[in-house]
């Protein structure tokens, strides 16, 4: 939970200017929490229309946070929103946006060659001090880092959806990462009020390595007709205390995301049955029924 009195001054000296690349579901949330934590944030999108969409989403979610933090204090809420927004700016030029950046967090499409192209360009454009991080859900951090010269300044910073609400930040280490970089990541995580856990660069890190096979098993259970989606969801909420059931959560995360995670792991580890792609998810992706974000997945949304 956010605390107004939290001091971030010592941390800001290390990471003050943050560039977030990709203003979709995750990037807009990461930009928001960084600005809330006191960073000057530049959010990069591919065009101004998508930038506007990201900014609208931040305005909306910032309002929700302000309402929670300043329940009976509308002036305080307005000040919080205004000050946070004054630290946020948009850009459509990644090379320009990293010129004075202390930390770049990449949250673009989950595709290795697209991420490689971006990081190669960023490595040339950013000053030597700039730390690089990827928010990838499922790709290897070491493989992403292969194209940059600054591997000592590279790591995974994995956030969870919805970023302004979920308290966890996974910090993923690679063997080349320096202790100084790791410590800067930990300090930044604290400054933006996340609880940090550390792990090695293995498929899915901690949460997704457990969560993705669990969701896939629930979908397989539904595909076999062992129980209805609604009953599976109710069972896991009331029987295991999860805030969302697995089918609801699959719709919430997005089927393009989960299908590409599972497909990637299946290709790398074909003998692991936990990573077998689900037929019904593949079908939904083909039909562009990606879940909550498109208005339909396993359930329909208004």
Report the catalytic residues. 137, 158, 170, 208
Q: Using the minimum distance from each CB to ligand NAD, give the nearer residue, 17 or 257.
A: 257
CA distance 292 to 253: 8
User: Is residue 46 within the footprint of ligand NAD (CB under 6 A)?
Assistant: yes
Q: Beta strands of the chain (E only): which ranges?
A: 17-21, 40-44, 88-91, 103-106, 131-134, 154-158, 168-173, 195-200
Interaction of residue 34 with ligand NAD, rule CB under 6 A: no
Least Cβ distance, residue 1 to ligand CAA (angstroms): 11
Q: Which is nearer to ligand CAA, 27 or 102 (CB)?
A: 27
Q: Is 25 in the site for ligand NAD (CB under 6 A)?
A: yes
Residues 6+ apart with CB under 8 A from 266: 272, 275, 276, 277
By beta-carbon proximity to ligand NAD, the closer residue of 43 and 77 is 43
- Number of residues forming the site for ligand NAD (CB under 6 A): 25
- The verdict on 244 binding ligand CAA (CB under 6 A) reads yes
254 binds, among ligand CAA, ligand NAD, none (CB under 5 to 8 A by kind): ligand NAD
Residues 102-131 that bind ligand NAD (CB under 6 A): 107-110, 118
d(CA 211, CA 296): 21
And the tokens for 261? 């995670």
Q: Residues 15, 20, 31, 44: which binds ligand NAD (CB under 6 A)? A: 44
Distance, in Å, from the CA atom of 289 to the CA atom of 204, rounded to the nearest integer, reads 24
Q: What are phi and psi of 246, to 5 degrees?
A: -65, -35
Q: Considering beta carbons, is residue 101 or 138 the nearer one to ligand CAA?
A: 138
Regarding 45 and contact with ligand NAD (CB under 6 A), the answer is yes
Contacts of 55 (CB under 8 A, 6+ apart): 23, 43, 88, 90
Name residues whose C-beta falls within 8 Å of residue 69's C-beta, 6 or more positions apart in sequence.
Answer: 2, 4, 76, 77, 80
Measured between alpha carbons, how far is residue 266 from residues 35, 207, 219 in Å? 37, 18, 16
Contact flag: residue 168 with ligand CAA (CB under 6 A): no
> Which listed residue (18, 27, 157, 297) binds ligand NAD by CB under 6 A?
27
Distance, CA of 281 to CA of 251 (rounded, Å): 10
Stretch 83-122: interaction string toward ligand CAA, x if CB under 6 A: ----------------------------------------
Q: If you count them, how many residues does the chain have? A: 302
Q: Which of 101, 136, 177, 181 binds ligand NAD (CB under 6 A)?
A: 136
- The binding site for ligand CAA (CB under 6 A) comprises 61, 64-65, 68, 137, 160-162, 164-166, 208, 211, 243-244, 249, 253, 257
């Amino acid at each position: 939970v956010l605390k107004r009195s939290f001091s971030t001054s010592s941390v800001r000296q290390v990471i003050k200017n943050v560039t977030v690349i990709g203003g979709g579901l995750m990037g807009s949330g990461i930009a928001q929490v960084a600005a809330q934590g006191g960073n000057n944030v530049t959010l990069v999108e591919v065009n101004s229309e998508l930038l506007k969409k990201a900014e609208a989403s931040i305005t909306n979610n910032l309002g929700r946070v302000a309402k929670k933090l300043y329940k009976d204090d509308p002036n305080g809420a307005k000040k919080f929103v205004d000050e946070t927004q004054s630290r946020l700016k948009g850009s459509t030029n990644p090379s320009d946006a990293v010129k004075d950046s202390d930390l770049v967090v990449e949250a673009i499409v989950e595709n290795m060659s697209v991420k490689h192209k971006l990081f190669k360009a960023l490595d040339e454009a950013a000053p030597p001090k700039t730390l690089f991080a990827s928010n990838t859900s499922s790709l290897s951090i070491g493989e992403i880092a292969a194209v940059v010269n600054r591997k000592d300044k590279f790591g995974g910073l994995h956030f969870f959806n919805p970023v302004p609400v979920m308290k966890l930040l996974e910090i993923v280490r690679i063997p080349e990462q320096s202790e100084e970089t790791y410590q800067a990541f930990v300090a930044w995580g604290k400054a933006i009020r996340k609880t940090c856990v550390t792990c090695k660069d293995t498929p899915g890190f901690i949460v997704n390595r457990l969560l993705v096979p669990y969701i896939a098993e629930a979908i397989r259970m539904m595909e076999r007709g062992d129980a209805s989606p609604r009953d599976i969801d109710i069972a896991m909420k009331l029987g295991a205390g999860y805030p969302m059931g697995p089918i609801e959560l699959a719709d919430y995360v997005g089927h393009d995301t989960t299908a590409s995670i599972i497909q990637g792991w299946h290709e790398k580890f074909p003998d692991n049955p936990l990573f077998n792609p689900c037929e019904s998810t593949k079908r939904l992706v083909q039909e562009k029924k990606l879940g909550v974000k498109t208005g339909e997945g396993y359930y329909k949304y208004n």
